[in-house]
């Protein structure tokens, strides 16, 4: 059944309720965006239609533990736009990457590192995978475990705790859905501290438990490093180094699950047009590397209106949904890739 409505200047054409693609049919290359649907003012249908307008074929979003388990041992879907967007994304040709993440105060503050916390987190993960069967098949374990906003986040003990969590959770995911794709890591190979942590988790055997590594190769702090060819060249080097560490002869699948530049007024590294040019070239270059499975630009819509606050300004769309130059650049890159197929 095809439903069409016009609202907020968005022509909403959604296919409901038939699934168009087999859930096992993975896209050869994903052109995606990071999303925060709960901050969107329109309906979930309008959100999906807006993504389709820019030929985006994948989304990546958090599905937070504490939104699912509010009473110990009891799980339920949150009444949120994130839930509703995930419910209809796949049947409309958009492949979700569901991030299993963040803590739950029912089990103490912070990351799940004790045996009890890891077990509880894995139970939430199992419920989530079962809940989204037929609607999502790519699951990422945590987002930026090594982020330095937390002291000690990228030391050796942190790496051990993360691999311990990934080992347990990945097995649970595969038990619930053997066809699921499990990714983990979300470290920045362009950052000399973060890449050390990334190498450590590989040395600890994380690749034994996952289907691919998630990477966030941001360079927005340096104009000199903000060249698409340089970034891809560094990913080639990362690939070679990790293969040696893992004693592998075949490439490790890499998922660029975050990449982007802020357009804030405060000391921008690139202009809006330079960011657009970068995005277009970067996506096409990434597509030439068989080991890269997709690029998820961060992010879809600005998270706020403060032009001087960097974190508000990563979207390819402004808060009022007006376009930045990058929106068309990503659409054109996605179309070019579709034509290649």
CATH classification at residue 103: 3.20.20.80
Q: Could you tell me which residue, 13 or 56, shows the higher pLDDT? A: 56
Structure confidence by residue, pLDDT tens digits, 78-127:
999 999 999 999 999 999 999 999 999 999 989 999 999 999 999 999 99
Structure confidence by residue, pLDDT tens digits, 62-89:
999 999 999 999 999 999 999 999 999 9
**Any idea what the Cα angle at residue 78 is, between residues 75 and 82, rounded to 5°?**
130
pTM over cut 0.85:
yes
Confidence check: pLDDT of 6 > 70: no
Structure confidence by residue, pLDDT tens digits, 9-54:
444 445 444 333 433 344 589 999 999 999 999 999 999 999 999 9
C-beta separation of 180 from 23 below 8 A: no
Four-point Cα dihedral 311, 317, 323, 325, nearest 10: 60
pLDDT band for position 301 (50/70/90)? very high
Structure confidence by residue, pLDDT tens digits, 257-298:
999 999 988 888 999 999 999 999 999 999 999 999 999 999
Structural domain containing residue 236: 2-340
**Residue 248 to residues 239, 240, 245, 288: CA-CA distances in angstroms?**
10, 10, 8, 21
Query: What does the pLDDT read at residue 270?
Result: 95
Number of domains present in the structure of the chain: 1
Query: What does the pLDDT read at residue 23?
Result: 37
């Amino acid at each position: 059944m095809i439903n069409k409505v016009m609202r907020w200047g968005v022509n909403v054409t959604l296919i409901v309720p038939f699934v168009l693609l087999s859930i096992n049919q993975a896209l050869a290359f994903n052109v995606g965006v990071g999303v925060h649907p709960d901050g969107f003012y329109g309906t979930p249908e309008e959100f999906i239609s807006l993504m389709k307008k820019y030929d985006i074929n994948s989304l990546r979003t958090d599905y937070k533990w504490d939104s699912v388990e509010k009473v110990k041992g009891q799980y339920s879907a949150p009444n949120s736009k994130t839930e509703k967007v995930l419910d209809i994304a796949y049947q409309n040709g958009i492949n979700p990457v569901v991030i299993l993440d963040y803590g739950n105060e029912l089990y103490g503050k912070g990351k799940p590192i004790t045996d009890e916390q890891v077990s509880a987190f894995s139970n939430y993960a199992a419920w989530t995978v079962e809940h989204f069967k037929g609607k999502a098949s790519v699951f990422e374990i945590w987002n930026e475990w090594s982020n330095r906003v937390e002291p000690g986040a990228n030391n050796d003990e942190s790496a051990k705790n993360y691999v311990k969590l990934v080992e347990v959770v990945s097995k649970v995911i595969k038990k619930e859905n053997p066809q699921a794709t499990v990714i983990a890591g979300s470290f920045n190979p362009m950052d000399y501290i973060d890449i050390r942590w990334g190498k450590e988790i590989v040395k600890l055997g994380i690749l034994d438990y996952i289907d691919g590594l998630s990477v966030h190769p941001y360079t927005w702090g340096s104009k000199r490093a903000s060249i698409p060819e340089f970034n891809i060249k560094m990913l080639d080097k990362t690939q070679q180094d990790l293969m040696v560490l893992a004693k592998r002869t075949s490439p490790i699948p890499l998922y660029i699950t975050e990449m982007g530049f802020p357009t804030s007024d405060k000391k921008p590294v690139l202009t809006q047009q330079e960011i657009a040019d970068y995005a277009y070239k970067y996506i096409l270059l990434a597509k030439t590397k068989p080991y890269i499975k997709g690029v998820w630009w961060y992010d879809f819509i600005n998270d706020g209106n403060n032009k001087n606050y960097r974190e508000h300004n990563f979207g390819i769309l402004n808060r009022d949904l007006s376009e930045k130059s990058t929106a068309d650049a990503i659409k054109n890159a996605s179309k070019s890739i579709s034509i290649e197929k």
